[in-house]
Amino acid sequence: MKIGFIGCGHMGGAMAKRLIDNGYELVVLDRNPAVLKPLAEQGATIAATPREVGDRAELVFACLPSREASVAVATGEDGIVAGKAVKIYVESSTLGQPTVDAIAGRLAAAGIAMADMPVSGGPKWAAEGRLTAILAGAPDVRAKLDPVLADLAKQVFVVGDKPGLAQVAKLVNNAISIAGMVVASEAIVMGVKGGVDADVLLDVINASTGRNSATVDKFPRAVLTRTFDYGGPLSIGTKDLELYLELGEALHYPTKVGARIAEIWDDAVKQGGAEQDYSEMARYFEKKAGVEVKSKRSS
């Protein structure tokens, strides 16, 4: 099966490479030529427009950084909606329910089915086929996706038949993950400032009830090593928190904790820039404390 892939940055690029490694023929598109070069070297065909991708592939994935980009790619003048070959469009971006509803409606009018499938796990998990896929779409569409998702994801959770429901589940997950990163950064920096060795502190946390994805994965990989290369920018967290707060407002549900986390996140972005690595959140607190969370163990 020929597959289209639009948006080949940190996460999308890792997903696209995973598909190529598993024998799929890809047609790829990204506004940054540099991220397409390694995929082309592996045999992928580079397209000029989303419409061209839709003309060449029956199944198209999108992994894009913003709602505006997703709407333009799917429904713009040269968008997927005008493609002659595409039958299924899989939106793996985090966009929020209203945007997915709007895209799905436009595509359905053109005879294109949509699957709402945001993913969780980061670029490293994507490259290894260990992603968690959160899937919402019609049963027949899901059945056609099953063989491909078996190569992309370790776990696939079906949350409903209607595109948009997966967005709700993803935003709930992301809010918890982001809050965990913020409180882990604040607390671990405080622990180091209080005199506890960073390695030992992480060992204690990860064997106890405080462990989360930040303490198990992000800190050991990107903070203790001082590489700060987890693989995604802080701007992704900004977008996800905005969508989470919008969801709460739409449901008339107070999100006081999320609002406070968003304030802290925005302050970190203002101080270091939106494109700094996700793991740089730890540095935001380190600067306040005047300490570094650094491993003393030999690698």
43-68: pLDDT as tens digits: 999 999 999 999 999 999 999 989 99
Q: How confident is the model at residue 164 (pLDDT cuts 50, 70, 90)?
A: very high
Mean pLDDT (the chain, rounded): 96
**Topology, domain 2-163:** Rossmann fold (3.40.50)
pLDDT of 41 reads 97
pLDDT of 123 reads 87
User: DSSP string spanning 54-117?
Assistant: HHH-SEEEE--SSHHHHHHHHHSTTSGGG-SS--EEEE-S---HHHHHHHHHHHHHTT-EEEE-
CA 216, CA 219: separation in Å to the nearest integer? Answer: 7
**Do residues 60 and 54 make contact, with C-beta atoms less than 8 angstroms apart?**
yes
Nearest to 130 by CA among 138, 121, 139: 121
pLDDT of 122 reads 83
The region, left, alpha or beta by phi > 0 then psi within -120 to 50, assigned to residue 258 is: alpha
Q: How confident is the model at residue 153 (pLDDT cuts 50, 70, 90)?
A: very high
Q: What is the pLDDT of residues 122-131, one digit of tens each?
A: 888 999 999 9
pLDDT of 212 reads 97
- Region 239-250 average pLDDT: 96
Q: How confident is the model at residue 39 (pLDDT cuts 50, 70, 90)?
A: very high
Chain position carrying tokens 């992603």: 131
- Region 265-288 average pLDDT: 96
Percentage of the chain beyond pLDDT 90 is: 95
Query: Domain ranges in the chain?
Result: 2-163, 168-289
**CATH H-level superfamily of 168-289:** N-(1-d-carboxylethyl)-l-norvaline Dehydrogenase; domain 2 (1.10.1040.10)
